[in-house]
Structure formats: C-alpha cells, structure tokens
C-alpha cells in the first residue's frame, strides 16, 4: 500500500509547509481506527486554508483517504479530545516523512503527558460527566428509567475517560480495556449496569450511590482548570464572559450544568449584582472562599 500511495504524498512532502506524514493501515476487516478504509495518510502542515482537507481514493480493490490537517487543528484535537483516533494515528502510524523530527517530538510529548497538558481535557471530561449524571438523575426521579440508563452509560464512559487521563494516559477507542487495568472499580460498575440481572430500577439506584462517591472524589482535580480561569479576574464573571473566554471553549455545551452543580456544592459562589429593575439582579460567578 505504501508504494501505491507514494505519488500522493511525495510531492507534498517536498513543500516547506509540510511538517510530517504518517501511514495508518487497517488492522482488521472491521477496524474502527481507519474509518473502514484500508489506509489513511495523515499529513500535518503548518498552515491550511481550511483546518482540515480530506480526499478519498480507490486503488485497485482497496480504498484510502488522505487527511491534510493544520498544526493548529491538530493541537485542538489533542487538547480537547474531539478526535480520539488522531492519538492512535500519531502514536502507532508509520512515519513516511518527518521534518526536523516534528512527529518524533510530538510522540514524546504525548507519551509524557504532563499534568499541565491534561488539565483542560480533565475539565472538559468532568463537565460532560456532570451533565450526563445530572440529566440521568432527573430522568430516574421522573421514572423514565430507559432514558436514565442511557445517560448513566454515557456518564460512566466519561468517568472512565477521566480516570485514564488522570492517570497520565490518552483515552483510546477501546477505553474500557484501559480502565479495566487502571481502575477496575469503574469497569465493574459498567458491567453491573449493562449485564446485571436485577431490575433496571435497582441497578440504576445502586449506580447513582456509587457514582456520587466517585464523582466527589474527582471533583477537586476535575474543576482545577475552571477555577484557575475564574481566578484570573479579581471580579466576578457574568455567564456571557465565561462563554466568550477562549480558555473555556471546550466546555461550552456543558458549562451551564457544571456551573450550577458547583454552585450547589458551594465550590463556586453566585453573586447578585443590582440592575435597574426592582428585585432583579444580574447573576455573576466567582470562586467560593469557603
């Protein structure tokens, strides 16, 4: 396959804008790592008119895809965890071209994965976990057990990813295999939920109790990045300020629920600021001093 793909990447590799090229081949017939293509060519460039350019090819009886991604987009994928395949591609792909050891350096950085680099991703996963957990709880209390089940499965998945990141690893597509090694307790909860023989209501009830403890034990590290951002201002933040803060861009979909949860837990304080309307206040937020 590499020989067949050489004309596709060779010309671009000679351009100064190209930082590196990787070949990722399908591991088995239904492997998800290449989106069912026989091979993926991942080309990383300094700048690109659009963040991502994709082209599909037929080569004999096989099919391949070329992904050209800007360095900035790649960094966003890695930091925000919005493209989990890309970690696998970078770490396990075959290097076809590497300008000034760009890919080797990137691999070493991903392998080290220091806490400072993990904070944002931990915060985002924690926010997703809280949203799914709280919505699942609401459905459960309203006796919508199948909807509650769906949300709690997702919340456990975010809890699993959070555990993997917390332990210094990047979550892979097969995250439950990782969690089984890293934190068997979470894996066991997942098994009990999806495979348990007790009525669904009983399984959910037990899971909410266990999840409450696991969430509480991770709250401090889960919100550290958010608190660091809030502490960059001496004054309180409006919700619109938070929405437009670039550092919190990855939280947007789950920020309202997370903030409300943290106010309820006394970790963030809701500050009332007077408006011109009698009895109407702006609701502002700051880190609680308690």
The pLDDT score that the predictor gives to residue 51 is 92
> Residue 290 pLDDT > 70, yes or no?
no
Based on the domain organization, do 194 and 143 belong to the same domain?
A: yes
List of long-range contacts for 270-277, beta carbons under 8 Å, 24+ apart: 271/236, 273/236
Whether residues 27 and 63 share a domain: the answer is yes
Domain boundary among 44, 78, 112: 112
Q: What is the pTM of this model?
A: 0.85
Range of the domain at 74: 2-112
The C-alpha atoms of residue 9 and residue 71 are separated, in whole angstroms, by: 17
- Give the CATH number, domain containing residue 35: 3.30.460.10
Domain-embedded: residue 119: no
Q: How far apart are CA 178 and CA 172, in angstroms?
A: 8
Q: For residue 10, what pLDDT band results from cuts at 50, 70 and 90?
A: confident
| pLDDT at residue 210 is higher than 80 | yes
Q: In 3-state terms, what secondary structure has residue 102?
A: helix
Question: What is the percent of the chain with per-residue pLDDT over 90, rounded to a whole number?
Answer: 68
Q: Is residue 134 part of a domain?
A: yes
What is the predicted pLDDT for the residue at 30? 66
281 in the same domain as 229: yes
Q: Which two tokens stand for residue 100?
A: 């000034």
Q: Sign of dihedral through CA atoms 156, 245, 220, 136?
A: negative
CATH code, 207: 1.20.120.330
Total count of domains within the chain: 3
Residue-wise pLDDT for 120-175, tens only, equals 999 999 999 999 999 999 999 999 999 999 999 999 999 999 999 999 888 877 78
Which residue, 112, 145, 175, sits at the end of a domain?
A: 112
Alpha-carbon distance 15 to 40, whole Å? 20
Stronger pLDDT, 112 or 254, i.e. the higher one: 254
Residue 2 tokens, joined: 């590499």
Beta-carbon count within 10 A of 27 CB: 11
| CATH code of residue 272 | 1.10.10.10
Residues 95, 44 contacting (CB under 8 angstroms): no
Asked if residue 172 is part of any domain, the answer here is yes
- Verify that 132 and 201 share a domain, yes or no: yes
């Amino acid at each position: 396959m590499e020989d067949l793909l050489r004309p596709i990447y060779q010309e671009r590799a000679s351009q100064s804008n190209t930082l590196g090229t990787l070949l990722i081949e399908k591991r088995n017939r239904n492997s998800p790592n290449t989106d069912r293509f026989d091979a993926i060519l991942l080309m990383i460039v300094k700048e690109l008119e659009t963040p991502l350019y994709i082209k599909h090819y037929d080569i004999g009886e096989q099919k391949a895809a070329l992904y050209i991604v800007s360095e900035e987009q790649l960094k966003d994928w890695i930091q925000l965890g919005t493209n989990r395949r890309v970690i696998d591609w970078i770490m396990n792909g075959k290097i076809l071209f590497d300008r000034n050891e760009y890919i080797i350096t990137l691999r070493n950085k991903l392998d080290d994965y220091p806490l400072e680099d993990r904070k944002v991703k931990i915060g985002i996963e924690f926010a997703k976990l809280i949203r799914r957990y709280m919505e699942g709880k609401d459905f459960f209390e309203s006796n919508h057990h199948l909807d509650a089940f769906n949300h709690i499965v997702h919340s456990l998945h975010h809890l699993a990813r959070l555990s993997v990141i917390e332990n210094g690893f990047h979550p892979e597509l097969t995250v439950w295999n990782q969690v089984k090694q890293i934190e068997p307790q979470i894996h066991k909860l997942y098994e009990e939920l999806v495979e348990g023989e007790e009525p669904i209501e009983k399984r959910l009830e037990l899971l909410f109790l266990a999840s409450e403890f696991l969430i509480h034990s991770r709250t401090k590290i889960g919100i550290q990045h958010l608190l660091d951002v809030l502490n960059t201002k001496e004054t309180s933040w409006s919700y619109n300020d938070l929405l437009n803060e670039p550092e919190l861009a990855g939280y947007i979909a789950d920020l309202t629920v997370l903030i409300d949860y943290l106010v309820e837990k006394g970790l963030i304080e809701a500050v009332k600021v007077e408006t011109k309307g009698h009895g109407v206040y702006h609701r502002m937020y700051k880190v609680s001093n308690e």
